[in-house]
């Protein structure tokens, strides 16, 4: 197919976002063949190709229309947005979807011995970070004067090296902080991966595929926690049982052949079904309870 008719999507080449990004695309039905140089991936069953790059390059690749789409952390995107603004330029990438991976937060963390009693404790301190623009905005809005020490990595060891008093860094579980004797004090940004698109208008074929991809992404995100549940129940217990089914809208109720007092209930639950729920259903008179994973859903 004509190159102009194929979507180009930027994905992190190797890092925390790589596997979940490829996993999402695979769930959306994409079959990928990797190029020899491993820099590109080619969609075999969709007009969509992947460019593997450093995550920091993704906002610009999309903004400059080298790629039509990109999967990147909100943290990277926001930092770039503020950096452009500081230079009097405007970010032009558009966020299409918030995604359910790459969760982390940009937080201030202080050495274990240091006391922290709110933002006032930051006054006059040296703060090491790889996110100077977001930290600058935070300090400005909080009306705090502090010194920002911009590093390109290994932020968490800066206090021990005497280069800073505290840090502003990405945290997910907190184990890296703990290993470096730091304590999370305050969150500046809650982050997750996002799908972004170019500001430039797309050819109709490409546009159509973006819409299809979005619909599939929504389907994938919806089914993640969803379960299909089937059970037998006394007709009289229906109201109670419906209340017990987590996040289900209108279950299908089928009469049970030969027993007028009992029915079969089929329902899609949009939340996970836990053992506790099954136990409550059983108490309410349900039998033959079966819970199945949902693979695909299209509303």
198's contact among ligand ATP, Zn ion, none, with CB below 5 to 8 A by partner kind, is none
60 lies in the site for Zn ion, by CB under 5 A: no
Q: Which stretch binds ligand ATP (CB under 6 A): 15-23, 87-95, 221-229, 251-259?
A: 15-23
Residues 6+ apart with CB under 8 A from 20: 101, 102, 193
Q: How far apart are CA 143 and CA 149, in angstroms?
A: 18
16 lies in the site for ligand ATP, by CB under 6 A: yes
Shortest distance (Å) from residue 169 CB to ligand ATP: 8
Q: Which of residues 103-142 bind ligand ATP (CB under 6 A)?
A: 104
184 lies in the site for Zn ion, by CB under 5 A: no
Buried b (16+ CB within 10 A) or exposed e, 140-179: eeeebebebbebeeebbebbeeeebbbbbbbbeeeeebee
Give the chain's radius of gyration (CA, Å).
Answer: 25
Q: Which of residues 197-256 bind ligand ATP (CB under 6 A)?
A: none
Q: Three-state SS for 257? A: coil
Nearer to Zn ion, 30 or 135 (CB): 135
Q: Which stretch binds ligand ATP (CB under 6 A): 68-76, 82-90, 137-145, 219-227?
A: 68-76
Shortest distance (Å) from residue 31 CB to ligand ATP: 24
71 lies in the site for ligand ATP, by CB under 6 A: no
Q: How far apart are CA 208 and CA 194, in angstroms?
A: 20
Q: E strand or H helix at 80, and its extent?
A: helix 74-86
Shortest distance (Å) from residue 158 CB to Zn ion: 18
CA neighbours closer than 13 Å in the CB half-sphere of residue 89 = 11
277's contact among Zn ion, ligand ATP, none, with CB below 5 to 8 A by partner kind, is none
38 lies in the site for ligand ATP, by CB under 6 A: no
55 lies in the site for ligand ATP, by CB under 6 A: yes
Q: Three-state SS for 294? A: coil
273 lies in the site for ligand ATP, by CB under 6 A: no
Q: Using the rule CB under 6 A, which residue among 73, 132, 159, 251 binds ligand ATP?
A: 73
Q: E strand or H helix at 40, and its extent?
A: strand 40-43
Do residues 111 and 180 lie in contact, with contact meaning Cβ atoms separated by under 8 Å?
Answer: no
Q: Which stretch binds ligand ATP (CB under 6 A): 20-28, 134-142, 169-177, 238-246?
A: 169-177
177 lies in the site for ligand ATP, by CB under 6 A: no
Compute CA distances 116 → 155, 156, 183, whole Å.
19, 17, 10
Among the listed residues 155, 186, 150, the one whose alpha carbon sits nearest the alpha carbon of residue 169: 155
10 lies in the site for ligand ATP, by CB under 6 A: no
Interacting residues with ligand ATP (CB under 6 A) = 12, 15-17, 54-56, 73, 75-76, 102, 104, 170-172, 191
């Amino acid at each position: 197919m004509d190159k102009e008719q194929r979507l180009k999507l930027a994905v992190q080449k190797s890092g925390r976002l790589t596997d979940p990004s490829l996993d999402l695309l695979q769930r959306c039905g994409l079959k990928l063949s990797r190029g020899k140089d491993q820099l590109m991936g080619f969609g075999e069953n969709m007009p969509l190709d992947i460019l593997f790059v450093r995550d920091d390059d993704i906002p610009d690749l999309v903004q400059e229309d080298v790629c039509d789409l990109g999967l990147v952390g909100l943290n990277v995107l926001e930092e770039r947005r503020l950096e452009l603004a500081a230079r009097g330029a405007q970010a032009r990438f558009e966020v299409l979807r918030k995604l359910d991976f790459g969760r982390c937060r940009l937080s201030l963390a202080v050495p274990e011995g240091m006391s922290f009693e709110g933002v006032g404790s930051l006054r006059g301190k040296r703060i090491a970070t790889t996110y100077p623009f977001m930290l600058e905005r935070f300090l400005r809005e909080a009306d705090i004067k502090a010194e920002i020490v911009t590093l390109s990595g290994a932020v968490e060891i800066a206090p021990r090296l005497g280069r800073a008093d505290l840090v502003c860094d990405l945290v997910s579980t907190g184990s890296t902080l703990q290993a470096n004797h730091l304590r999370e004090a305050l969150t500046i940004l809650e982050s997750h991966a996002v799908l972004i698109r170019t500001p430039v208008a797309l050819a109709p074929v490409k546009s159509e595929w973006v819409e299809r991809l979005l619909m599939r992404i929504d389907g994938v995100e919806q089914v993640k926690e969803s379960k299909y549940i089937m059970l037998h129940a006394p007709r009289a217990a229906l109201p109670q049982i419906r209340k017990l089914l987590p996040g289900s809208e209108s279950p299908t109720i089928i009469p049970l052949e030969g027993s007028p007092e009992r029915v079969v209930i089929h329902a899609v639950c949009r939340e996970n079904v836990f053992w506790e729920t099954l136990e409550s259903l059983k108490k309410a008179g349900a039998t033959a309870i079966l819970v199945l994973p949902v693979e695909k859903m299209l509303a």
